């Protein structure tokens, strides 16, 4: 087994981890299955015969070192990431290999930037947090839309999900994140992060076809609230999520995703709409696909491949849009993701009534 083609997957038996393992194999890399649960590792190994399994725990640094031995990179798929990112990054730094995770927890992503950037640079190691649907995809789209602009007045990021059946991992991670924020919303506004306790704004967003105008909840906290302002010069990031998806994920009886195709994807579809405004000019980047958990796999695996091929802009901890060529990265995902880039069509009103654009929000609560 050549180390250049070997990627350790920590939390390989989780919902997203399984997608990552399959994607690595499809792209010609060799996954090493890792996690703390021996029985679940064996069960996963039965589905992928011939792959090496290494039991490891974040409470045992030696076990993590053994899990990463001989690997060229590690993809961390094990949440809650508040507990796993630190120990696994430490192990990656000791091994001097690349680290990528699929964390959606805002605080865990912020901690990664705060605690490991300088050390990763000193080690010549690349660390890319939130290389997933939340955090990575939105950041790539915002970067692509911004293009050569040095700054933007506002960035709008709107999510349309046909439904949202959360995994057990999502539920647990959400609970951890909310406890850390004391149930407050984390919002990037006026050039800084702030916590808010008032009622989140509601309104309507005009998504590109075939979604169209939909009721949305504003200030929907995602990892993008950390990754986008990290490297794009903008004082404001406004985030929106379709109301139906919010209701789904918050429902006490919400069911987990059900596979409907040979890849194991659910029937859920998504559209991510990013608008960047500078003065009266606006640019838009849009991506669509199927299953927010499944799409995290090609995002994370493509990141690892580019890191190993040297297609990165330096070392240290960096968001996807800062370290990769964003438009090229998004186009490379065409087997999994649609991607369009262009100017915003005239008509409609941007949130806050700033200029012609794609949205028409109100303070009126959605019906239902």
What tens digit of pLDDT does each residue of 37-59 get?
Answer: 999 999 999 999 999 999 999 99
Beta bridge mates, 30: 6
The reply to whether 180 and 217 lie within a common domain is yes
Looking at the structure, tell me whether residues 14 and 109 fall in a common domain. Answer: yes
Residue-wise pLDDT tens digits, 158-215: 999 999 999 988 887 777 777 777 777 888 888 988 889 898 999 999 999 999 999 9
Structurally, the chain folds into a number of domains equal to: 2
Question: Which of 128, 148, 179 is the last residue in one of the domains?
Answer: 128
124 and 137 inside one domain = no
Pairing of β 53-55 and β 30-35: parallel
Radius of gyration of the chain (CA): 20
318 phi-psi bin (left φ>0, alpha ψ -120 to 50, beta other): beta
Among 54, 21, 40, which residue's Cα sits nearest to residue 296? 21
| Residue 225 near residue 196 (C-beta atoms within 8 A) | no
SS3 for 322? Answer: helix
One pLDDT digit (tens) per residue for the chain, 368 residues: 344 599 999 999 999 999 999 999 999 999 999 999 999 999 999 999 999 999 999 999 999 999 999 999 999 999 999 999 999 999 999 999 999 999 999 999 999 999 999 999 999 999 999 999 999 999 999 999 999 999 999 999 999 999 999 998 888 777 777 777 777 788 888 898 888 989 899 999 999 999 999 999 999 989 999 999 999 999 999 999 999 999 998 888 889 999 999 999 999 999 999 999 999 999 999 999 999 999 999 999 999 999 999 999 999 999 999 999 999 999 999 999 999 998 776 433 344 333 323 444 433 323 33
Q: Which tokens sit at 63?
A: 């076990």
Q: Do residue 51 and residue 178 come from a single domain? A: no
What CATH number is associated with residue 37?
Answer: 3.40.50.720
Helix ranges (DSSP H) in 76-214: 81-95, 106-123, 138-146, 168-180
**Residue 120 shares a structural domain with residue 156:** no
* Gap between the Cα atoms of 238 and 158, Å rounded: 8
Residues with Cβ within 8 Å of 183's Cβ and at least 6 positions away in sequence, in order, are none
Q: Is residue 320 part of a domain?
A: no
Distance CA 205, CA 213 (A): 5
Residue 366: inside a domain, yes or no?
Answer: no
In this structure, the answer to whether residues 121 and 152 fall within a common structural domain is: no
Q: Which residues pair with 6 in a beta bridge?
A: 30
Predicted local distance difference test score (pLDDT) of residue 345: 61
Asked, for residue 303, whether it belongs to a domain, the answer is no
User: Are 32 and 54 in contact, with CB atoms under 8 Å apart?
Assistant: yes
Claim to verify: residue 150 and residue 287 sit in the same structural domain: yes
Q: Does any domain span residue 309?
A: no
**Cα–Cα nearest to 104, from 239, 194, 5, 8:** 239
In a domain, 323, yes or no: no
Residue 164 lies in a domain: yes
Q: What is the DSSP string of 225-277?
A: HHHHHHHS--S-EEEEEEHHHHHHHH-TTPPPP---STT---S-EEEEEEEEE
Domain residues for 209?
133-292+335-353
Q: Which of 64, 95, 128 is the last residue of a domain?
A: 128
Residue 4 has what pLDDT?
54
pLDDT score, position 185: 83
Same domain, 238 and 175: yes
| pLDDT at position 100 | 98
Residues 6+ apart with CB under 8 A from 149: 276, 278, 283
> Is 200 found in the same domain as 84?
no
Q: Helices 15-26 and 168-180 sit at what angle, rounded to 10 degrees?
A: 120
Q: What is the predicted pLDDT for the residue at 186?
A: 83
Q: Does residue 138 lie in a domain region?
A: yes
CA separation for the pair 13, 197 (Å, rounded): 36
Q: What pLDDT, on the 0 to 100 scale, is given for residue 344?
A: 75
Tell whether 151 and 218 lie within a shared domain: yes
Distance, in Å, from the CA atom of 9 to the CA atom of 367, rounded to the nearest integer, reads 43
Please name the residues in contact with 217: beta carbons below 8 A apart, sequence gap of 6 or more.
Answer: 200, 201, 202, 240, 241, 242, 243, 246, 366
The CB-based long-range contact list for 58-65 (8 Å cut-off, 24+ gap) reads 58/83, 58/84, 58/86, 58/87, 58/88, 59/87, 61/87, 61/90, 61/91, 64/10, 64/88, 64/90, 64/91, 65/91, 65/94, 65/95
**Chosen domain end from 128, 154, 179:** 128
Q: Is 329 domain-assigned?
A: no
H helix or E strand, kind and range, residue 65? helix 61-68
Q: Do 77 and 208 fall into the same domain? A: no
Residue 2 pLDDT: 45
Report the alpha-carbon distance of residue 359 to residue 218 in Å, rounded.
12
CATH number of the domain within which 149 lies: 3.30.360
The candidate with the shortest Cα–Cα distance to 221, out of 163, 174, 153, 290, is 174
Residues 147 and 288 in one domain: yes
């Amino acid at each position: 087994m050549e180390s250049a083609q070997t990627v350790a997957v920590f939390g390989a038996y989780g919902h997203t981890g399984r997608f990552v393992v399959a994607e690595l194999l499809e792209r010609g890399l060799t996954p090493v299955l890792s996690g703390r649960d021996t029985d679940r590792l064996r069960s996963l190994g039965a589905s992928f015969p011939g792959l090496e399994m290494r039991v490891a725990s974040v409470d045992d640094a030696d076990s993590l070192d053994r899990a990463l031995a001989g690997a060229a990179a590690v993809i961390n798929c094990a949440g809650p990431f508040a507990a796993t990112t630190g120990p696994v990054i430490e192990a990656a730094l000791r091994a001097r290999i690349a680290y990528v995770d699929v964390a959606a927890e805002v605080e865990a992503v912020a901690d990664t930037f705060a605690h490991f950037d300088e050390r990763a640079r000193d080690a010549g190691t690349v660390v890319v947090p939130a290389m997933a649907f939340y955090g990575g995809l939105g950041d790539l789209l915002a970067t692509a839309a911004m293009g050569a602009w040095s700054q933007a007045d506002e960035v709008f990021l709107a999510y349309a999900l046909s439904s949202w059946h959360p995994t057990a991992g999502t539920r647990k991670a959400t609970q951890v994140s909310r406890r850390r924020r004391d149930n407050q919303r984390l919002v990037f506004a006026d050039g800084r992060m702030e916590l808010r306790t008032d009622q989140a704004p509601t309104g309507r967003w005009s998504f590109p076809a075939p979604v169209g105008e939909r009721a949305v909840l504003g200030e929907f906290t995602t990892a993008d609230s950390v990754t986008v302002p990290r490297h794009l010069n903008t004082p404001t990031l406004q985030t929106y999520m379709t109301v139906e998806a919010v209701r789904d994920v918050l429902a006490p009886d919400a069911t987990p995703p059900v596979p409907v195709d040979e890849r194991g994807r659910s029937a859920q579809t998504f559209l991510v709409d990013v608008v960047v405004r500078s003065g009266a000019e606006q640019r838009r980047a849009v991506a669509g696909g199927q299953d927010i958990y499944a799409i995290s796999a090609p995002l994370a695996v493509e990141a690892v491949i580019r890191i190993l091929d040297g297609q990165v802009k330096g070392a240290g901890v960096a968001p996807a849009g800062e370290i990769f060529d964003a438009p090229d990265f998004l186009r490379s995902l065409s087997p999994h993701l649609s991607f369009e880039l262009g100017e915003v069509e005239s008509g409609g009103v941007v949130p806050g009534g700033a200029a012609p654009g794609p949205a028409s929000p109100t303070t009126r609560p959605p019906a239902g």
